[in-house]
Amino acid sequence: MAEVSEDSIMNTLSGVMDPEVPVLSVIDLGVIRDVRINQSHVEVDIAPTYTGCPAMDVISSSVEEAIIKLGVSKVEVNTVLTPPWTTDWISEDGKRKLLDYGIAPPKNEGNQKRELFQSAPEIACPRCKSNDTSCVSLFGSTACKSLYRCNACLEPFDYFKCL
């Protein structure tokens, strides 16, 4: 096995992008939970954004491929469900990238978690910054996003749900 460090692995993984939100790396998203370097292989624990997330197979394969390119002969990627992923794990840089991409980042104000059974939060438009927006659907382009419309600029946009 090639000589690798946790820093080199994390740096490499910062280039592995989420297939559903391609401006976020797996590091930005916070799904990388642990990296262990053993004598014969590397183990990486990843947490799905929600149970059954269809992107996890692609993320797992992409993580494995990226680490193999470092010269590691064996990589094991484990899916971990505990503790469950939360939008608190999205980096501040990741939230900025979401906003720049046109997706409203999660609004974690007021300890607002587990929105599924709550009314839709007021979310500012990522394009014109207006607070005059409406939730069109609690489920957007992916299950982790809601679909909103700005009543000022009339543009639709996704909101990354606070989980």
Boundary residue ending a domain (85, 113, 131): 85
Question: What mean pLDDT, rounded, does the chain reach?
Answer: 90
Whether the predicted pLDDT of 163 surpasses 90: no
74 and 137 housed in the same domain:
no
- Residue 93 forms part of a structural domain: no
pLDDT of residue 144: 84
Torsion angle in degrees (nearest 10) through CA of 45, 46, 52, 58: -110
Over residues 57-64, the mean pLDDT reads 97
Calculate what percentage of the chain has a pLDDT beyond 70. Answer: 92
- Residue 65 forms part of a structural domain: yes
Length of the chain, in residues: 163
Identify which has the larger pLDDT, 143 or 150: 150
Calculate what percentage of the chain has a pLDDT beyond 90. Answer: 73
Rounded to whole angstroms, the Cα distance separating 55 from 49 reads 9
pLDDT 10s digits, 18-39: 999 999 999 999 999 999 999 8
Torsion angle in degrees (nearest 10) through CA of 160, 24, 54, 58: 180
pLDDT of residue 162: 82
pLDDT of residue 88: 92
pLDDT 10s digits, 97-147: 999 999 999 987 655 555 456 677 889 999 999 999 999 998 888 888 899
Q: CB under 8 Å, gap of 24 or more: what pairs does 51-58 form?
A: 51/81, 53/143, 53/144, 55/18, 55/19, 55/20, 55/142, 58/19
35 and 63 housed in the same domain:
yes
Rounded to whole angstroms, the Cα distance separating 92 from 138 reads 24
If one counts every other C-beta atom within 10 angstroms of the C-beta of residue 42, the result is: 23
DSSP tag of 64 = H
CA-based end-to-end distance of the chain: 38
**Number of domains comprising the chain:** 2
- Residue 41 forms part of a structural domain: yes
